[in-house]
Structures are given as C-alpha cells and as structure tokens.
Amino acid sequence: MSKKLMIFGGSGFVGGNMARIAQQNGWEVYIADNRPDPNLQAEWWLVNITDQNSVEKAIEAVSPTAVVNVAAIADIDRAEKEKELAHKINVDGARYVAESCAKKGIRYVFFSSDAVFDGASGSYSEDDQPAPVNYYGHTKLEAEQAVFVAHPAAVVIRISLVIGFPVSGGNSFFAILESKLKEGKEVVAPTYEIRTPVDVFTLAECVLELCENGFSGVIHIGATDSISRYDLTRSVARRMGYDEQLIKPQTMPEAIPGRAPRHKNGIINVARAQHILKTRLLSTAESIQRAFDERLSVDRPKPMDAKDTP
C-alpha cells in the first residue's frame, strides 16, 4: 500500500522542496494549495485553507497517510498589516486541517516558528514559555494551541530559519540574496538577530520521519549551533562566489516605518529532536554546504490536472 502525503502550502519554498524529496523517498504526493505550479509534478487540489468545507473535501477525497501544513502568511511585516487574513490562514486554516485529520485518524504535522518567543534570553527549549513580540508570532502560538485542542496526537515543528533554493515559488532567503548580489547591490544584514538555520533537505527528511513515527507534541528542528543573520549572509554570499564586502552590518535596531518588531535571539534547543529522530541534524556550516550541494534542478514538467474543491 502506497504512502500518501498531502502538503498544504505545497507551492511555497519549503512545501515545494518537500514535495520533491517525499517523491524521491517513495511517497505519493498531493499538493493542496490555491494555485497550481508548473514546476511541481504532483497531483493538485485547489483548496482554500480558510474554508473548512474546502479543506475537508480535499482530505476526504485523498485520504492521505499524513498531512503536512506549511501554508502561512509568513511575511512578518505583511502579517502585521493584514491581521485578519493572517489569522484566517495561520490560525483558522491550521485548525480546519487539524480537525479534518483528527476525524479520520490521519497523522498531522504543523509548522510553527521560533517567533512564538520574545528572543530576550538564550537557548529556547520546547517547554519554555512563549511570548511573541509581533502578530505573526501571536498567530503561530494561537495556532499551536488550536491544533492540539483539535488533534492531541499532532506534531508541531518550530523552525527558526530555513535555508536553500526554491524548486517553485515561495520566500527563499538564498534566492532573494542571489538576485540582489547578481545586480551588484549592497545587502544590509543585522548582527544582533541570531537564528538557528536548517537546510530544507534535512528539514524535509525530519518531517518525513515524523510522518511515520509515534511522536506527538512540540519539537524544535534546526542546526546544532546558531549564527547571526549578518554572518550567515556573508557566508552564503562567499559560497555563491560574490564579494562578501557587499554585505553590510546593521549593528543597532532601527525603527523602520512599516516593519514589525523582530525577536533577537532565535536560538532554539534541538536536543529533543536529536534524541527522537534518526535523521542527523547538521551544524550551520554543514547546513549551508548541503543546501548548495543538493540544490535541485528546476525542470518544468506539466502539472497534473488540479482537482477543484471550492
């Protein structure tokens, strides 16, 4: 019997890579999203995640082995400006998927963020008290709570920063940086924002493992060490073959109109993941190297016909 994986938000950076990697690992992949993408060869279901009926119809029709939800308004500034939409997608959508999976006893893996913490202290474990400083973080915290109420056996993954290149669309730090550097633009990166990055390939392998093991609860996935955004950006620019002098340090937080507050320390403790998962978590340097070594070529196969679930 084939393993079926349904990915909500599968057209994004993380979802698109996950779809490819899942297929390579023997999963039958179904993408639930609001638009088909010609770069991804999978069966598509046109789903409005803010519509409970649309979500239920897609899950009922596919009857997947596991569901992964990476759909979100993840742009922190946009979430701050478009709070109603951010809440509908990040919170209501997460709950609708959780409820539908719980009804059918389907494994559910939901993506959250280190933005649930205020970043004022050091290494955050899964049991530390959340205290988000922006609306995006608030929606993720509320979503975590809603998911566990609806589906107590669910898995909530908190990530700090995912690195790598896209196979479709989505918000890829590498792709944005490469585009700017190609044009010879200077890039300003904060020295005071610390993150615990994970390459998208290692992350996908962890997710696929979680889709099949018996763990439930919150789990942090990231590198075994942390790095400032400035040092990370310089390292990636150097690996891309560009002059790292194009990367300029921002040493003091600046009040930028329209920019939401950020948590400073996104240092997440990954000891639980190291104990539970067979997938080896990498150092930051290894994560950067793997993101380049395993960059997937972007061919353009014709997408399969999308099933409409209005």
pLDDT digits (tens, 9 = 90+) for 135-154: 999 999 999 999 999 999 99
**7 strand-pairing partners:** 31, 68
pLDDT tens figures, 5-21: 999 999 899 999 999 99
Q: Where are the domains of the chain?
A: 3-309
What's the angle, vertex CA 285, arms to CA 284 and CA 291, rounded to 5? Answer: 85
Give me the pLDDT at residue 2, please. Answer: 84
Confidence of residue 308 (pLDDT cuts 50, 70, 90): low
Give the residue with greater pLDDT, 307 vs 4. 4
The answer to whether residues 288 and 163 touch, using CB atoms and an 8 Å cutoff, is yes
Confidence of residue 193 (pLDDT cuts 50, 70, 90): very high
Domain 3-309, second-level architecture? 3-Layer(aba) Sandwich (3.40)
Burial profile 130-163: b = 16 or more Cβ within 10 angstroms, e = fewer: bebbbbbbbbbbbbbebbbebbeebbbbbbbbbb
Average pLDDT over residues 220-249: 97
The answer to whether residues 241 and 299 touch, using CB atoms and an 8 Å cutoff, is no
Range of 38-47, 165-174, 212-221 with top mean pLDDT: 212-221
The answer to whether residues 127 and 113 touch, using CB atoms and an 8 Å cutoff, is no
Give me the pLDDT at residue 82, please. Answer: 97
Asked if the model's pLDDT at residue 183 lies above 60, the reply is yes
Asked if the model's pLDDT at residue 251 lies above 70, the reply is yes
Asked if the model's pLDDT at residue 303 lies above 50, the reply is no
The answer to whether residues 162 and 14 touch, using CB atoms and an 8 Å cutoff, is yes
Give me the pLDDT at residue 307, please. Answer: 57
Q: What letter represents residue 207's amino acid?
A: V
Asked if the model's pLDDT at residue 213 lies above 70, the reply is yes
Confidence of residue 1 (pLDDT cuts 50, 70, 90): low
Number of helices and strands in the chain (H, E)? 11, 14
Tokens at 282, concatenated: 């990498």
Give the residue with greater pLDDT, 308 vs 279. 279
Give the CA distances from residue 280 to residues 177, 221, 225, 274, in Å, rounded to whole numbers and listed in that order: 27, 11, 13, 7
Confidence of residue 255 (pLDDT cuts 50, 70, 90): low
Tokens at 261, concatenated: 């507050």
As a whole number, the mean pLDDT across the chain is: 92
Q: Which DSSP string corresponds to 196-219?
A: -EEEHHHHHHHHHHHTTS---EEE
Asked if the model's pLDDT at residue 37 lies above 80, the reply is no
Average pLDDT over residues 249-264: 79
Least confident of 47-51, 54-58, 118-122, 185-189: 118-122
Q: What letter does residue 51 receive in the DSSP assignment?
A: -
pTM: 0.93
Asked if the model's pLDDT at residue 169 lies above 80, the reply is no
Average pLDDT over residues 303-307: 48
Confidence of residue 257 (pLDDT cuts 50, 70, 90): low
The answer to whether residues 46 and 96 touch, using CB atoms and an 8 Å cutoff, is no
The answer to whether residues 198 and 165 touch, using CB atoms and an 8 Å cutoff, is no
